[in-house]
């Protein structure tokens, strides 16, 4: 076995499961959103949120993605909303709490290994899910 193969095998054993990586990505984005002090920081954090959801939606659309169709549909819906709200919040002083809440729901679901869009015991909050009409 070559040195490169040995090193790859060692690192592969240390790799995090995909759900943990996704939860960490949402936690990173939330820290960025929470700590944004300047307008530039806020826009950068919103861009990170938009990019994360864009990557997830792209992955969901791959034929190799084995998630159930209803879960894919729900994730695309939530992700599309989050992306639209992120863009709207870049140009206006919209609260970031709705994005933080959605991402927290994702983190909790990913860590608990249950379907992501609906956390048991938490009904969707219509106020949290509304995107300004002027988008």
* Structure-model confidence comparison of residues 35 and 2, the more confident one: 35
pLDDT at position 115, please? 56
CA distance to 9, 50, 85, 124, per residue, from 57 (Å): 30, 11, 15, 20
pTM for the model? 0.74
Q: At what angle do helices 39-60 and 69-91 cross, to 10 degrees?
A: 160
List, for residues 43-94, the tens digit of each pLDDT value.
999 999 999 999 999 999 999 998 899 999 999 999 999 999 999 999 999 9
List, for residues 13-51, the tens digit of each pLDDT value.
567 788 899 999 999 999 999 999 999 999 999 999 999
pLDDT at position 15, please? 73
What residues does each domain of the chain span?
Answer: 17-112
């Amino acid at each position: 076995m070559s040195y490169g193969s040995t090193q790859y095998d060692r690192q592969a054993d240390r790799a995090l499961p995909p759900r943990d990586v996704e939860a960490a990505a949402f936690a990173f984005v939330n820290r960025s959103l929470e700590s944004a002090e300047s307008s530039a920081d806020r826009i950068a954090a919103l861009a990170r949120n938009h990019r994360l959801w864009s990557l997830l939606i792209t992955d969901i659309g791959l034929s190799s993605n084995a998630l159930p169709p209803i879960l894919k549909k729900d994730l695309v819906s939530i992700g599309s909303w989050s992306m639209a709200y992120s863009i709207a919040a870049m140009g206006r002083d919209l609260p970031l709490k709705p994005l933080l809440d959605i991402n927290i729901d994702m983190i909790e679901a990913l860590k608990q290994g249950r379907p992501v869009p609906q956390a048991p015991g938490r009904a969707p909050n219509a106020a949290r899910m509304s995107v300004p009409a002027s988008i």
